[in-house]
Amino acid sequence: MSELIAQHPILITSIIKVVVLLALFMTMVAYLSWFERKVVARIQSRWGPYRAGPHGLLQPLADGVKFLMKEDPTPAGVDRFVYFLAPFLALSLALCGVAVIPFGPHDVTIFGQRTHLGVADLSIGLLFLFALTSLGVYGVALGGWSSNSKYPLLGGLRSSAQMVSYELAMTLSVVGVLLAAGTFNLQEIISAQKGHILNWFTFALPFPQIIGFFIFFTAAIAETNRLPFDLAEAETELVAGFHTEYSSFKFAMFFIAEYANMVTASLLASLLFLGGWNSPFPQTASFAWTHYLPSALLAVGGLWLIFDGIRYETVLGKILLPVLGLVGLGAAAVVALDGVREVIQGPFWFVGKAVFFLFFYVWVRGTLPRFRYDQLMAFGWKLLFPLALANVIVTSFVMVLKELR
């Protein structure tokens, strides 16, 4: 075994990276559910979760325990193999996606091995992600079919038709970016947007991909089965859609998969259209102060948490919030260090943009009503798809004209 590791040092670094990334990713996914409930509550003038821990911060933990402890009945007449397979398929495909996403331009050193920030650097990174998305339909469709119940079946049918339709528009919408970058490799796509905000593909000359960006994000919301496109669940019509017959941890697997897909889609949107890890500021000496932004943000957040914690009603909050604030201040100091500051720039901007998209997801959910099914199909096929096609044609013309000049 040790011989094998000595021969392939990439094995050990990969395992470490997978474990760290998975831990961070799952934490992000768990707190995304808290974030969503809080933001939607604020939009609807409610409080949202606030009983489990200060500001409901322990709610994801409580949910996790609840999912594990609940009884898990299997309905009569289900197709057992497919019924058990579906949530596994959904979750594992959703978790694979983040493996190909690169988080920063700088290499880091683990146990003497220099390695980039990301698990796998594929030459077909983007295609790999699309392949995973196209397989992701099966989790929902098979879950709906195998439940032996009419509402899940309808949900599964709807979702498979919807996802095939929107996949087309989504894939076409990134062709403009691919033409500009000339590669499927995600690292190279990000590097092609180097510099400042006007080099990001959404705004970059010769042909800004702002239409492609709009189509991509709309289709991504539909692909992840989120409101206003969550026809597969549609609780006003289909009880709970494809996961009506699932409970306990099998339901949780669908739930986690949905949120993991949201995170991956947000990362991908920021990577393709908003420059990924590139800072919006020009990389010149007069903008060197922007490298302290992560540190400043952490410091302000930490101070606010301490201030808020002192005033908090419960004893737990009085202890937990200031401790979190102190951790934030400590992190701010670490991030300001010379060696760390440059490495953290990439992940900071990248994840920051993704968090903006996640907020956008929740904002849309809190604002827009659900589409009717025929409206959904007409919107995808009659608006998004022709628009994406036109975008491809115009972009290629502009590219050719630029070559000719």
Tell me which of 157, 303, 333, 389 binds other proteins, using CB under 8 A.
Answer: 157
- Cβ neighbours for 144, distance < 8 A, ≥ 6 positions apart: 152, 153, 154, 155, 156, 157, 159, 232, 241, 242
Interface with other proteins (CB under 8 A), residue from 28, 29, 142, 267: 142
Q: Which residues are registered as beta bridge partners of 108?
A: 115
Provide, rounded to whole angstroms, the least separation between the CB of residue 164 and other proteins. 5
Count CA within 13 A, CB hemisphere, residue 96.
17
Choosing from 14, 113, 134, 191, the residue that interacts with other proteins (CB under 8 A) is 134
> Closer CB to other proteins, residue 184 or residue 217?
184
Q: How many residues bind other proteins (CB under 8 A)?
A: 29
Q: Which residues of 235-262 are buried (b: 16+ CB within 10 A; e: fewer)?
A: eeebbbbbbbbbbebbbbbbbbbbbbbb
* Residue 135 within binding range of other proteins, rule CB under 8 A: yes
DSSP class of 371: P
Stretch that binds other proteins, among 66-74, 139-147, 186-194, 323-331 (CB under 8 A): 139-147
Residue span 94-133 as binding mask against other proteins, x where in contact by CB under 8 A, dash where not: ----------------------------xxx--xx-xx-x
Q: Which is nearer to other proteins, 24 or 135 (CB)?
A: 135
Q: Indicate the DSSP class of residue 52.
A: S
166 binds other proteins (CB under 8 A): no
CA atoms within 13 A on the CB side of 63: 18
> Residue 96 or 344: which CB sits closer to other proteins?
96
With b for 16 or more beta-carbon neighbours within 10 A and e for fewer, the 309-333 pattern comes to beebeeeebeebbbebbeebbebbe
Q: Which residues, numbered 27-86, are part of the site for other proteins (CB under 8 A)?
A: 79, 81-82
Piece of the chain touching other proteins by CB under 8 A; list 13-21, 57-65, 141-149, 217-225: 141-149
Residue 178 or 239 having the CB closest to other proteins? 178
Distances (CA, A) of 240 to 176, 235, 244: 37, 5, 5
Of the candidates 28, 91, 117, 141, which one interacts with other proteins according to CB under 8 A? 141
Q: Which is nearest to 162 in space by CA: 217, 229, 215, 228?
A: 229
Q: Are 133 and 223 in contact (CB under 8 A)?
A: yes
Is residue 257 part of the contact set for other proteins (CB under 8 A)? Answer: no
As to burial, measured by CB atoms within 10 angstroms (0-12 exposed, 13-18 middle, 19+ buried), residue 391 is: buried
- Contacts to other proteins from residues 260-319, by CB under 8 A: none
φ/ψ of residue 173, rounded to 5: -70, -25
Q: Which is nearer to other proteins, 56 or 136 (CB)?
A: 136
Q: Spell out, one character per residue from 172 to 201, where the chain touches other proteins: x when CB under 8 A holds, - when not.
A: ------------x-----------------
Residues that bind other proteins (CB under 8 A): 79, 81-82, 122-124, 127-128, 130-131, 133-135, 137-138, 141-142, 144-145, 153, 156-157, 160-161, 163-164, 167, 171, 184
